[in-house]
């Protein structure tokens, strides 16, 4: 992606009805070095091979227990509290969930001071859960995209101090970025060490008969998900351009079609049919009363605003053969 294209993307993220632009990093320092400068990328498998990333599965068979957690926005204590309530971590933050699968819906970044600690912890939980026969999956949210694109409007003062201890950051490449933001930008810009961690995550996953996604999957979008995933991963790794799914208002990171009190249930049914699932679990849009559902349980909304920035309830969603159940933290 060229520098001009990257700054255009940052403007797009804050336009079209979103908040006015404030603190965007100078675009000419954000364009990542690329081995592949093509604007149009090939289908999924070719793209992943071209940028050197391993294949990323996003459809999984049914499992006995899945716990879905919404946006955590840089609040480590709130995240620990709900995962303990779900019985998947102990008091030391180590995995104790056995074969349980956890799907966290994205938006680790912004609005809180503990972002780096959460990313590091989630990486560890991925390994610990897999070793125990479970899985810990965390999705990309729009705030991960925004930070990679240089949109720093929602970073807290403590968040700007995050990432300063990351070894080997190419700080000289970001000399035009204000010093207080330089380490963060170097870590999260496409090709940076934490952007490459994000490149290991999915835009959406399907576990059994349930799709999990940050914003939502509208009708007509399901077929493009594998290619969107491949392009997003390559872009975060420093190669290629981001897919429209990352920036469009109706893309999987931004869509709110099924998050309101009266979603279009007919459209939801079409989207579920295209995905081949019975229900969709979404995050992104805070639910002031806690975890909620609509359309006879075909959509569940798990962004409860649990981070201290919002002050929402400590809740998650459990899916088992007995049906959905809301987990409440202390």
Q: What is the pLDDT of residue 65?
A: 99
Contacts of 211 by beta carbon, 8 Å cutoff, 6+ apart: 204, 205, 217, 272, 275, 277, 279, 280, 281
Q: What pLDDT band is residue 35 in, cutting at 50, 70 and 90?
A: very low
Contacts of 28 by beta carbon, 8 Å cutoff, 6+ apart: 3, 176
Q: Looking at per-residue confidence, does 251 or 11 come out higher?
A: 251
% of the chain with per-residue pLDDT over 70? 85
Q: Is the pLDDT of residue 23 over 70?
A: no
Kindly report the number of other CB atoms within 10 A of residue 327's CB atom. Answer: 18
Q: Which whole number is the average pLDDT over 6-18?
A: 44
Q: What is the pLDDT of residue 188?
A: 98
Which tokens hold the place of 157?
């003062």
Q: Looking at per-residue confidence, does 38 or 293 come out higher?
A: 293
Q: Is the pLDDT of residue 3 over 50?
A: no
- Catalytic (active site) residue 309: no
Q: What is the pTM of this model?
A: 0.88
Q: What pLDDT band is residue 32 in, cutting at 50, 70 and 90?
A: very low
Q: Which one from 143, 214, 284, 309 is the annotated catalytic residue?
A: 143
Q: Is the pLDDT of residue 229 over 60?
A: yes
The alpha carbons of the chain give a radius of gyration, in whole angstroms, of 19
Q: Is the pLDDT of residue 268 over 50?
A: yes
CB 281 within 8 A of CB 103: yes
236-257 confidence digits (pLDDT tens): 999 988 888 888 999 999 999 9
Sign of CA dihedral 248, 284, 202, 268: negative
Q: Is the pLDDT of residue 126 over 90?
A: yes
209-221 confidence digits (pLDDT tens): 999 999 999 999 9
Q: Helix (H, G, I), strand (E, B), or coil: what is residue 210?
A: strand
Strand partners, 67: 102, 318
The residues spanned by each domain of the chain are 3-328
Q: Is the pLDDT of residue 21 over 80?
A: no
Q: Is the pLDDT of residue 27 over 70?
A: no
For residue 59, report the phi and psi dihedrals to the nearest 5 degrees. Answer: -115, 130
- Distance, in Å, from the CA atom of 103 to the CA atom of 203, rounded to the nearest integer, reads 12
Which tokens hold the place of 146?
């925004």
Q: What is the pLDDT of residue 1?
A: 37
CATH class of 3-328: alpha beta
Q: In whole numbers, what is the pLDDT of the chain averaged over residues? A: 88
């Amino acid at each position: 992606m060229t520098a001009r294209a990257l700054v255009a993307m940052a403007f797009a993220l804050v336009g079209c009805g979103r908040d006015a632009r404030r603190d965007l990093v100078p675009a000419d320092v954000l364009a990542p070095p690329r081995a592949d400068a093509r604007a149009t990328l090939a289908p999924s498998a070719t793209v992943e091979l071209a940028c050197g990333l391993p294949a990323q599965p996003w459809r999984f068979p049914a499992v006995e227990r899945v716990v879905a957690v919404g946006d955590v926005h840089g609040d480590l204590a709130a995240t620990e509290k709900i995962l303990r309530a779900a019985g998947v971590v102990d008091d030391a933050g180590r995995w104790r969930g056995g074969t349980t699968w956890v799907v966290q819906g994205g938006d680790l970044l912004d609005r809180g001071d503990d972002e780096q600690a959460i990313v590091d912890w989630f990486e560890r939980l991925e390994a610990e859960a897999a070793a125990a026969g479970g899985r810990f999956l965390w999705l990309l949210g729009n705030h991960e995209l925004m930070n990679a694109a240089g949109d720093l409007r929602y970073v807290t003062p403590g968040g700007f101090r995050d990432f300063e201890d990351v070894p080997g950051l190419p700080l000289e490449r970001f000399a035009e970025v204000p010093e207080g933001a330089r380490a963060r930008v170097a870590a999260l810009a496409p090709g940076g060490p934490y952007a490459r961690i994000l490149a290991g995550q999915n835009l959406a996953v399907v576990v059994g008969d349930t799709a999990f996604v940050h914003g939502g999957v509208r009708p007509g979008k399901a077929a493009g998900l594998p290619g969107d995933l491949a392009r997003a991963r390559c872009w975060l790794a420093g190669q290629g351009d981001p897919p429209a799914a990352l920036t469009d208002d109706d893309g999987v990171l931004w869509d709110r079609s099924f998050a309101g009190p009266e979603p279009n249930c007919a459209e939801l049914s079409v989207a579920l049919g295209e995905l081949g699932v019975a229900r969709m679990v979404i995050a992104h849009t805070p639910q002031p009363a806690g975890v909620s559902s609509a359309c006879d349980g075909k959509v569940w909304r798990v962004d409860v605003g649990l981070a201290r920035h919002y002050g929402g309830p400590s809740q998650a969603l459990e899916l088992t053969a007995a049906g959905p159940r809301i987990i409440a933290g202390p």
